């Protein structure tokens, strides 16, 4: 596909892709994004058309990332984290420090959750945002 006038992937397709990759399902991604299953499916089709390759393997239980999809998901996760961190710079502090944590479920359950009490009892008022 010719991208000469459109060098950046459409952001809405990346949001749908990220949600589907995290949830393993177009339906769950749609619920997370307040869209329909069809809208997410169309965004993924648009992304795959733009890239010229498949990013998901479709199966009866949902979707799984292809090798290329996995590579793209690693990069989009980094990019969205960078956007999130940098957008926080423009928000006026409201007296509560925000701690953003992202983890895979096994690390969260075995290592992180036992240590959450220390963060919750921290002398500085903290708001903890956990993305698993």
- Segments making up each domain of the chain, as ranges: 11-88, 97-131
Chain-centre distance of CA 1, in angstroms?
A: 26
Model pLDDT for residues 48-77, shown as the tens digit of each residue: 999 999 999 999 899 999 999 999 999 999
**Whether the model pTM is above 0.85:** no
Compute the distance between CA of residue 73 and CA of residue 22 in angstroms, rounded to an integer: 9
Of the candidate CATH numbers 3.40.50.720, 3.40.50.10420, 1.10.10.10, 1.10.357.10, the domain formed by 11-88 belongs to: 1.10.10.10
Torsion sign over Cα 127, 17, 57, 78: negative
Compute the distance between CA of residue 29 and CA of residue 33 in angstroms, rounded to an integer: 6
Model pLDDT for residues 22-32, shown as the tens digit of each residue: 999 999 999 99
**What are the percentages of helix, strand and coil residues in the chain, rounded to 5?**
55, 15, 30
């Amino acid at each position: 596909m010719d991208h000469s006038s459109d060098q950046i992937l459409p952001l809405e397709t990346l949001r749908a892709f990220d949600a589907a990759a995290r949830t393993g399902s177009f339906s769950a991604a749609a619920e997370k994004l307040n869209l329909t299953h069809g809208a997410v499916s169309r965004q993924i089709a648009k992304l795959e058309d733009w890239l010229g390759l498949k990013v998901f393997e479709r199966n009866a239980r949902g979707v799984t990332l292809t090798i290329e999809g996995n590579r793209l998901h690693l990069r989009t996760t980094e990019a969205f984290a960078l956007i999130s961190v940098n957008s926080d710079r423009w928000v006026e502090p409201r007296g509560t420090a925000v701690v953003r944590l992202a983890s895979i479920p096994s690390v969260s359950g075995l290592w992180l959750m036992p240590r959450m009490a220390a963060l919750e009892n921290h002398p500085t008022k903290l708001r903890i945002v956990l993305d698993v």
